[in-house]
């Protein structure tokens, strides 16, 4: 990495724990000095040392329209001039909530929050408050934010920053972790055993429908439908954490595509348009349990922030009008197939697991179906692949426990450059 980035890293480490404000940025899984970004436009990011890279991180999926979209920037500029925050309700919040309720069948009411972690934290508290039960059932490797109850057998950055224990962070009381039950993803029998072992005590099961925090791991046929049936048969709620999935594969929820009927849904990333914004929604009788109409408390000074809401309203209006999903899926497919073909030609044990508009290169020959199989991949090989791609101007996620994204701003030339960089990199491995 350049001297500029080494200098920035040294300065950051002196004043920020680990030099980063989110552990996944630290390059723990791939080694070397983290990069620093000076600017972004469209499908590209310009690094602090002046180099330009094709971006396959896209702010972890949030930038579906690409960086610096002029229409989004104009809406944000106008909103900021009117006032960046009031701590008082604004008309834009209502517009966004009405839009979400109109286009998402599972949602009758919605509460805006500031992050996916907040959305999930609210969903868990809401499920416990509505059902009067304490236990939560989750899947290994699914990451639902960093609230205490969800940092048990979690995915994403805790897989490279933690010590591999079930409780992925110090500072979480065992009494809290005790109320979180864990089963392997894509294992219907394990879910059935969990409900049988705790009849009438599980408040909810929460799941990433298409897992994106142990790398891209799609659900097996009928897996999610089985989870929903088991939950409802026991009187538990079914929560779909669509912080990554919502508006990523089509204009709506992944749940809609496969006929699920979640009681509560969490959303973020894409809908926020690059700003701290997320939401929790569901049936009216469940959502009305939130304060001030109900006894489940949730609040936030910046919730429904007018600048973030302005960005979200433009992004969702554009996605509904332009529907770039077929193009993004086509480009994602081309990237996945191109990398796999290059790996085969170079005799490198690497495969690419893809679902529609997301993909993960796994350093293995068979795509993983759960966390155990994902963790069995060759982390050192992925690290060398990542560094080779970065040296050739392509920024992938700095861990094979994440998913990569193609945006509407990527071009055919970008796709060809990504595949060419992969060929050159894999030949060196």
Catalytic residues: 143, 241, 269
List the beta strands (DSSP E) in 283-333. none
Q: Would you call 23 helix, strand, or coil by DSSP?
A: helix
- Candidates 59, 74, 67, 70; CA nearest to 22 is 59
- Continuous segment of H or E residues that includes residue 421: helix 412-428
Edge-to-edge order in the sheet of strand 180-183: 109-113, 278-282, 264-267, 237-242, 202-207, 135-139, 180-183
Question: How far apart, in whole angstroms, are the C-alpha atoms of residue 275 and residue 389?
Answer: 28
Q: What percent helix, strand, coil does the chain show, rounded to 5?
A: 40, 15, 40
DSSP-assigned letters across all residues of 333-388: HHHHHHHHHHHHHTT---EEEEETTEEEEESSSS--SSHHHHHTS-HHHHHHHHHH
Quote the CA–CA distance of 135 and 14 in Å, as a whole number: 41
Could you say which DSSP state residue 45 is in? Answer: E
What's the token pair of residue 53? Answer: 């890279």
Per the listing, tokens 């290169």 go with 361
- Residue 54 three-state SS: strand
Q: What is the DSSP string of 184-232?
A: -TT-HHHHHHHHHHSTTTEEEEEE-SSB-SSSSBPPPTTHHHHHHHHHH
Q: How many CA atoms lie within 13 A of 81 on its CB side?
A: 6
| Number of Cβ within a 10 Å radius of residue 175 | 8
DSSP 68-131: T-HHHHHHHHHHHHH-S--SS--HHHHHHHHHHHHH-TT-SEEEEESSHHHHHHHHHHHHHHHH
């Amino acid at each position: 990495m350049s001297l500029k980035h080494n200098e920035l890293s040294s300065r950051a480490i002196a004043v920020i724990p680990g030099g980063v404000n989110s552990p996944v940025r630290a390059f723990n899984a791939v080694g070397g000095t983290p990069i620093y970004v000076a600017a972004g436009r469209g499908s590209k990011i310009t690094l602090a040392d002046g180099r330009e890279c094709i971006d396959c991180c896209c702010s972890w999926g949030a930038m579906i329209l690409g960086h610096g979209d002029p229409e989004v920037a104009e809406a944000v500029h106008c909103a900021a001039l009117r006032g960046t925050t009031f701590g008082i309700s604004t008309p834009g919040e209502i517009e966004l909530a009405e839009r979400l309720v109109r286009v998402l069948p599972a949602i009758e009411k919605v509460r805006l929050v500031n992050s996916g972690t907040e959305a999930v934290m609210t969903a868990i508290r809401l499920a416990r408050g509505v059902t009067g039960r304490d236990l939560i059932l989750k899947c290994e490797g699914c990451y639902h934010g960093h609230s205490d109850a969800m940092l048990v057998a979690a995915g994403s950055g805790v897989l490279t920053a933690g010590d591999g224990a079930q409780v992925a962070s110090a500072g979480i009381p065992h009494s809290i972790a005790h109320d979180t039950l864990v089963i392997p993803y894509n294992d219907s029998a394990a879910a059935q055993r969990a409900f049988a072992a705790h009849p009438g005590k599980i408040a909810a099961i929460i799941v990433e429908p298409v897992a994106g925090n142990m790398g891209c791991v799609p659900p097996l046929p009928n897996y999610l439908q089985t989870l929903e049936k088991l939950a409802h048969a026991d009187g538990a709620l079914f929560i779909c954490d669509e912080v990554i999935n919502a508006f990523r594969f089509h204009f709506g929820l992944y749940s809609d595509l496969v006929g699920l009927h979640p009681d509560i849904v969490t959303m973020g990333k894409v809908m926020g348009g690059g700003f701290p914004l997320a939401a929790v929604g569901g049936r009216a009788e469940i959502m009305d349990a939130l304060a001030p109409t109900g006894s489940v408390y949730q609040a936030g000074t910046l919730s429904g922030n007018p600048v973030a809401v302005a960005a979200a309203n433009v992004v969702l209006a554009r996605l509904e009008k332009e529907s770039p999903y077929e193009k993004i899926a086509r480009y994602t497919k081309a990237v996945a197939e191109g990398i796999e073909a290059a790996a085969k030609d170079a005799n490198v044990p690497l495969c690419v697991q893809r679902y529609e508009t997301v993909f993960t290169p796994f350093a293995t020959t068979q795509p993983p179906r759960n966390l155990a199989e994902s963790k069995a991949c060759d982390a050192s090989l992925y690290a060398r692949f990542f560094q080779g791609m970065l040296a050739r101007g392509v920024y992938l996620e700095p861990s094979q426990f994440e998913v990569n994204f193609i945006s509407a701003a990527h071009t055919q030339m970008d796709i060809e450059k990504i595949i060419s960089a992969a060929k050159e990199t894999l030949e060196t491995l």
